[in-house]
Amino acid sequence: MLIKSLDRLERKFGKFAIRGLMIYITTGNLAVFLLDYLMPSLNLPLKLMLIPSLVLKGEVWRLITYIFIPPNTNIIFILFVIYFYYMIGSTLEHEWGSFKLTVYYLLGMIGTTIAAFFTGGSSSTYLNLSLFLAFAYLFPDFEILIFFILPVKIKYLAWLNWAFIVFTIVFGDIRLKIAAIVQVANFFLFFGSDLLKWIKSRRNVYYNRKNFFRQIEEGRKANKQNRR
C-alpha cells in the first residue's frame, strides 16, 4: 500500500508538508465566493479556472487557483460544503499526518491537471470527491445529518458516489470518462491494495462457504445411501 511506503519519504521530505492544508483551501473557497458575490464584475472564477489553453499561454496560476473556486453560489450550501470539507480534511490530517494528506491532495491535483489537458478544462469536483471517499473508507460508520435532520452513515453516501462514478465511466462521453478515472486515481493509489485484499478475502469466504455446504450435502446423500 502506497500509504505505508510514504513513511520513508516522510522522514526525508516531511518538512515540505502543508500543515493545516484544509484551512487554506476552505478559506480560499470562502474568499473567492465573497469576492465574486460582492464584485461580480470581476468574474473571478473565470480567471481562476483550470483551462489548459490559457495555462500554455502563461497563466500558470490556474494550475493551483482552481481549487479555490467554490462549487456553488448559494451561501447556505457554500457554508455547509466548506465546513464539511474542512472537517473531513482535518480528520484525515489527524489520521495520516500532514505529509500524507498533502501527498494525497497533490496526487489528486496532478490527476485533475492530466484530465484537464485531455478534456479542455476541469474543476475540483472529483478532487474533493476523492477526499470524501478516503474519509468514508477510513470512517465508514461516521454519521452526518441530511438536511440537518436525518442521520445517515457516510458509507452509504460513498456508495452513491461510487455509483455515480461508475455510471459516468460507463455511459459518459470520453471526456467525462477520463475525468472520472484520473481524478480519483489518488484514492486507488492509497487504498488499491487494501481493496484487492478485501475482494480476495470475500472471494475466499464465498468459496469456503460453498465448499462447506457442498460437503454437508454430500454427507447427507452418503447417509441416505448407507441407510438403504
pLDDT of residue 223: 66
Give the contacts of 38 (CB within 8 A, at least 6 positions apart): none
Ordered structural domains, the chain, with CATH: 2-6+13-199 (1.20.1540.10)
Give the contacts of 228 (CB within 8 A, at least 6 positions apart): none
CA distance 43 to 94: 36
Instruction: Measure the CA dihedral 157/163/168/169, to 10°.
Output: 130
101: exposed, middle or buried (C-beta count within 10 Å: 0-12, 13-18, 19+)?
buried
pLDDT of residue 180: 77
pLDDT of residue 77: 80
pLDDT of residue 129: 86
Give the contacts of 170 (CB within 8 A, at least 6 positions apart): none
Residues of the chain with pLDDT under 50: none
pLDDT of residue 1: 53
Length of the chain counted residue by residue: 228
Rg (CA), the chain: 23
pLDDT digits (tens, 9 = 90+) for 25-79: 999 999 999 999 889 888 898 899 999 999 999 999 999 999 998 877 677 788 8
List C-alpha distances in Å: 228 to 217, 221, 225.
Answer: 17, 11, 5
Q: Which residue has the cell 482535518?
A: 90
pLDDT of residue 221: 66
State the pTM of this model: 0.80
